Amino acid sequence: MPSFIRFLKTRPLTALSLLAVTALPALAKDDPREVEALRREVATLEALRAEKLDALERREAARWDARYKSVAQTREAEDRIRALEEAFGRLSGEASRLEEEWVKARGAADEKKEALEAAREATKSFRDQFKRRLDEAAAAVSADFPVGMEARLLAYTRVAETLENDSADVLGALKLYWRAGLSRLDLTHSRTLETRQTQFEDGRVAPAWRLRLGTVFLAELEKEGQGASQILLRTGSLQGKTFAWRQNLAGGNNALIRDAVQAAVQGKPRAEVPFDVLQFRSTGSGFTAGETETLWERFKAWFKAGGVTLYPLFAVGFLALFLMIERLIFYARRGVNVDKFMEGFRAHADRGDWEAAAAYAGASRGSLARVMQAVAVNARGTRDEAERAVQEALLKEIPAHERRLSMLAATGTASPLLGLLGTVAGLVTLFKTMNQTGGTDPKLLSGGISEALINAEVGLAIAIPVLLVHGWLLERSDALNATLSSKSLEMLNRIWPEG
């Protein structure tokens, strides 16, 4: 039975036909017309079943055709996918290889870029150092031996102009720089004798022979007239005049110069020449006349070397000296022989002759006498009156003892500070000179060093004695004030012992 039901579900038209055929014999017994009707229905159902079967076969064929096409498309898609995967694999491998090559190329490019930047920085640093050295060399020309200065300055200017361009020929600039330096070296190995118009130290202009031996000797001899001679000497000046002509020379130096130039003019093989081979003397010492200076002249030269700061330093020193002298005179006048004075005062006090005691105290100029006079005048009154009088006298005397001591201490404190100011000013001059000349000659720096040390020396020379004297005067003042207080209290207790 279950099989038949399943057959009905799957083949409904066939089942109905079977039912009709099965039912026909039973119906034929009843009515032929019903049988005919049932046969027609069965025929109709058969026709319908045939149509359904045809439709079902067409749908089944279409389904199988669609399935075949789907399978074919699936296979085609799978083939294409496999082809694409293979192509993708090849492209991925190629991309990986290209990426590795790109990373390597980028690393190499970065290394080359870093090397290029390092080379640029090194070149820039070298150019900067070269420019600084060039500036120093150009600044040193003005303090160098004054021969060929224009040519060297022009060469250094050309080198500087070459270095200004970013794409400068550094090697060419170096060649020009060393050529200028070698031209300076060539001067030290050459000598010249020429005739030219020159101005002598006394102001006269006349034709003269000029003899140069390297960079250590340059002298001139007047061709006619007075036959004057002069030599170029280093001055050590900080104002740019590092060399100067000196005509009035010490000893027989003028005669030696005259003989040397004449020997060169006459073509003699040798002659005696006076010169300092190191050009070390800053003022032509040993050449110029009048080297033995008086004490006042040496003091003026020393004061000039100290600079303008010495003026306030000396003013403070004179003020301190005035204050010390004034205080010494004051303490000498106000101070008395305490034991001798008190012995005479007590002699009158013991007799009760207070008028005589007051007169005795008034005859003295000391501070103790003025306080004792106040005691004697008020001795016949009460102790309170006498103490008030003594206090008034002490208030007048003690400030007078301490007057001007603070000002004296201030001068002792200000002196080293002014000396320090002068020291700083000297150092400023020193560094300015080093910047101008390049610091190649120690003698050119001596002016700034001298100014710094002289100011420090004077400041300490004023401050040390002033502070010592101030301490002694302050102790003297304290001792005098203590004497006034103790002796006045002693006398009050002597007059009024019960107080």
Supply the DSSP string of 227-265, one letter for each residue.
--EEEEEE---SSS--EEEE-SBSTTHHHHHHHHHHHHH
The answer to whether position 445 is within a domain reads yes
> C-alpha angle with apex 391: 386 to 392, nearest 5 degrees?
100
pLDDT in the model for residue 467: 92
CA 107 vs CA 95, 117, 118, 119, 248: distances in Å:
18, 15, 16, 18, 77
**Same domain flag for 101 and 200:** no
**Same domain flag for 106 and 74:** yes
Q: Is 162 helix (H, G, I), strand (E, B) or coil?
A: helix
**Same domain flag for 411 and 339:** yes
Distance of CA 241 to the CA centre of its chain: 30
**Same domain flag for 175 and 274:** no
Q: What percent of the chain has pLDDT over 90?
A: 8
pLDDT in the model for residue 384: 86
Confidence of residue 410 (pLDDT cuts 50, 70, 90): very high
- Of 429 and 287, more confident: 429
Give the domain-ending residue among 292, 323, 352: 292
**Same domain flag for 155 and 65:** no
**Same domain flag for 327 and 470:** yes
**Structural domains in the chain (count):** 4
Confidence of residue 282 (pLDDT cuts 50, 70, 90): very low
**Same domain flag for 476 and 334:** yes
In whole numbers, what is the pLDDT of the chain averaged over residues? Answer: 80
pTM above 0.85, yes or no: no
Print the domain residue range for 256: 190-292
**Same domain flag for 209 and 181:** no
Give the C-alpha separation, 308 to 306, whole Å. 7
| Mean of pLDDT values over 105-116 | 90
pLDDT in the model for residue 447: 58
Residues 303-312 have pLDDT tens digits of 887 888 889 9
**Same domain flag for 83 and 199:** no
**Same domain flag for 341 and 446:** yes
pLDDT at 253 over 60: yes
> C-alpha angle with apex 417: 412 to 422, nearest 5 degrees?
125
Residues 341-391 have pLDDT tens digits of 888 888 888 888 888 888 888 888 788 888 888 888 888 888 888 888 888
Q: Across the strands, what pairs with 207?
A: 197
Give the C-alpha separation, 52 to 50, whole Å. 5
pLDDT in the model for residue 430: 75
Give the C-alpha separation, 241 to 235, whole Å. 7
Instruction: Of 19-28, 192-201, 281-290, 461-470, give the range with the top mean pLDDT.
Output: 461-470
If phi > 0 it is left, if psi is from -120 to 50 it is alpha, else beta; for residue 290 that is: left
Give the C-alpha separation, 375 to 23, whole Å. 177
pLDDT at 281 over 70: no
The dihedral formed by the CA atoms of 412, 416, 421 and 423, expressed in degrees to the nearest 10: 150
The answer to whether position 426 is within a domain reads yes
Give the C-alpha separation, 173 to 96, whole Å. 51
The answer to whether position 298 is within a domain reads no
pLDDT in the model for residue 315: 93
The answer to whether position 303 is within a domain reads no
pLDDT in the model for residue 166: 66
* Spatial CA neighbour of 213 closest among 288, 277, 287: 277
Give the C-alpha separation, 94 to 172, whole Å. 51
If phi > 0 it is left, if psi is from -120 to 50 it is alpha, else beta; for residue 267 that is: left
pLDDT in the model for residue 202: 73
Distance of CA 152 to the CA centre of its chain: 32
Residues 40-78 have pLDDT tens digits of 888 898 888 888 888 888 888 888 888 888 888 888 888
pLDDT in the model for residue 317: 92
pLDDT at 10 over 70: no
pLDDT at 215 over 50: yes
**Same domain flag for 154 and 221:** no
